[in-house]
Structure 1
Amino acid sequence: MKIVVIGGTGRIGSQVVAQLREQGHEAVPAAPSTGVNTLTGEGLAEALAGADAVADVSGSPTFEPDEVLDFFRRSTSNLLAAEQAAGVGRHVALSIVGTRRQPENAYFRAKVAQEDLIEASSAEWTIVHATQFFEFLPTLADYQTVDGVVRVPPVAFQPIATRDVAAAVAHAVLNGPARTHVEVAGPERFRYDELLRQELAEAGDPREVVTDPDARYWGAVVDDHSLVPEGEHVTLGATTLAEWKQAQAAGSAA
């Protein structure tokens, strides 16, 4: 089975490619660095020739509201049109848990626009919604920092290892239900403020973490339902936060 992975050289995409190849499939990474540009359409026809499925795990290079919306609209429209022309029957896209529950988040609004285009297409699609990645916990702490204090809302939070996200995408390509949304999250549920407080303490970071119900998450007001899965099709990743840390430490020592 030939599967083209859009964004296949990135953090998630490279792992999707590796996992599909381990299962005996022809997985082709597609990105500007490999000559495939979904914004311009360059290289799409050549990459999709003979493909059975596409997994789109690409991300916008910018978070500016108008630009990120334009990225997902144009890239998805070009990709879907190229798939139809090439006779590709299966389309899987990676999105984010809670996209439709956070309208104030510009990136999430852009992902909703992407999802709408996919749902309106003739493809046999599956959209995989993932929670936040373990790898981004330091970035989240930095984002929540105001005047040297980390202000965090006390809401449910269920981060996941990227390798488990990649596994969910690979599974959706090969076995996922058609025309359906699925969700994937880490196996443990935390409280967002408590988790960041623990992470900074373990890292020896002196910043104070303050529980602030009015603090926002990437510009959006959130509650206990915003950042965790609530759909009918939910898969939990296999990797706990402690196991992920052990693997990271082992990798750094190698």
Structure 2
Amino acid sequence: MTLTLVTGGTGHLGRDIVDRLVRDGHRVRLFARARGTRPDVEWAIGDLATGAGLFDALNDVDTVINAATHSPIARRGGVRPVDFFKSPSAVDVDGTERLLSLCEQQSIRHFLHVSIVGLDDATLPYARVKLAGEKLVRASSLPWSVVRAMPFYYLLDKMLAGLAWLPLWPMPTTSFNPVDTSDVADHVVACAFDGMSGERTEIGGPEDLGVAALAGQYRDARGLHRKILPIPMSEAKARGMGFVVSRGVRGRLAWAEWLQRRYSGTHHAA
């Protein structure tokens, strides 16, 4: 049975990817900084940012799914002024380059890289870092695939939670179609083993939502009493901030349904 290495396998998307792989009967090895508790996978301990443990982690591996990333905004659930000027590249650029180099040496059969829809026009430093890493994959001599996904529901939940204390929420009216990690994982695993490679169909959520409308659904699901101030935004500015509508496959889980699962029975007026 072939062996698949997953980087970023302990993150939200990574956990869903590993669940799909295990469910489908694949042998899975997780590359992580610390050993986790799940017993149905192999654990390879190391760090993509430094390369520690990476050579051994690739031993006997057939397919690599690179879902690792380092986004300070996602980790803290909010934007700080520094995020408009710089974003760390040790994982997304240096780590990707190191991983690709070792995969080429070991003749990995398929390297699938998870990326983000709309990077070409996005202006935030994190997006530029992600694009630089993606370009390394595209230039590789390996059989590679790039799967771009829209922003994830759990990240939007985290960002909006950070605004919950404000009585007024200024929100752009521009539309985009965020997606749940469960739907992205299904698409990623399908692309990893369908025998094709190259630029793959991107994936977004099932519905196009204005950011203000999306925030309103979140507010109502939480039982909050906040006023939302819709802010018009030019298309160029929206694209620069990553607010685009993906043109690929659509996930199944809607934002409202995700919110219901997350917050059902937790209402408290505030």
Q: Percent identity?
A: 27
Equivalent in the alignment of 1:114: 133
Equivalent residue for 1:98, pick from 115, 118, 121:
118
Equivalent in the alignment of 2:46: 36
Deviation of 1:66 after TM superposition, in Å, equals 3.9
Aligned: 1:87 with 2:107: yes
Structure 1 runs not aligned, ≥5 long: none
TM-score (norm 1): 0.86
Aligned: 1:206 with 2:207: no
Equivalent in the alignment of 1:52: 62
- Note the 1:101-250 alignment, pairs <5 A: 101-102=121-122, 104-141=123-160, 148-175=167-194, 177-214=196-233, 221-222=237-238, 226-230=243-247, 234-248=248-262
- Aligned in 2, Cα 1:210/1:61: closer, same or farther, shift over 3 Å? closer
Aligned residues of 1:15 and 1:163 also touching (Cα < 8 A): yes
* SS of corresponding position for 1:140: helix
**Aligned partners of 2:263 and 2:195: how far apart in 1?**
33
Aligned residues of 1:101 and 1:226 also touching (Cα < 8 A): no
Q: What stretches of structure 1 move > 6 A for 4+ residues in a row?
A: 143-147
TM-score (norm 2): 0.81
- Counterpart amino acid of residue 53 in structure 2: G
- Aligned in 2, Cα 1:67/1:223: closer, same or farther, shift over 3 Å? closer
- Counterpart amino acid of residue 87 in structure 1: S
Aligned residues of 2:145 and 2:198 also touching (Cα < 8 A): yes
- Aligned in 2, Cα 1:251/1:151: closer, same or farther, shift over 3 Å? closer
- Aligned in 2, Cα 1:211/1:178: closer, same or farther, shift over 3 Å? same
> Which deviations, in whole Å up to 9, do the C-alpha atoms of 1:17-70 show, x marking residues without a partner?
111111111111111114121121111111111111100111205355544234
Aligned: 1:78 with 2:63: no
Aligned residues of 1:39 and 1:78 also touching (Cα < 8 A): no
Deviation of 1:91 after TM superposition, in Å, equals 0.8
Aligned residues of 2:221 and 2:260 also touching (Cα < 8 A): no
| More off after superposition, 191-200 vs 66-75 | 66-75
> Superposition RMSD on alpha carbons, in Å?
2.8
- Aligned in 2, Cα 1:146/1:251: closer, same or farther, shift over 3 Å? closer
- Aligned in 2, Cα 1:240/1:91: closer, same or farther, shift over 3 Å? same
Aligned residues: 245
**Aligned partners of 1:22 and 1:145: how far apart in 2?**
37
| More off after superposition, 20-29 vs 53-62 | 53-62
Aligned residues of 1:93 and 1:128 also touching (Cα < 8 A): yes
* SS of corresponding position for 2:113: strand
- Counterpart amino acid of residue 117 in structure 1: L
**Aligned partners of 1:251 and 1:71: how far apart in 2?**
39
Aligned residues of 2:87 and 2:125 also touching (Cα < 8 A): no
Aligned residues of 1:97 and 1:183 also touching (Cα < 8 A): yes
Structure 2 runs not aligned, ≥5 long: 36-44, 74-82
Equivalent in the alignment of 1:12: 13
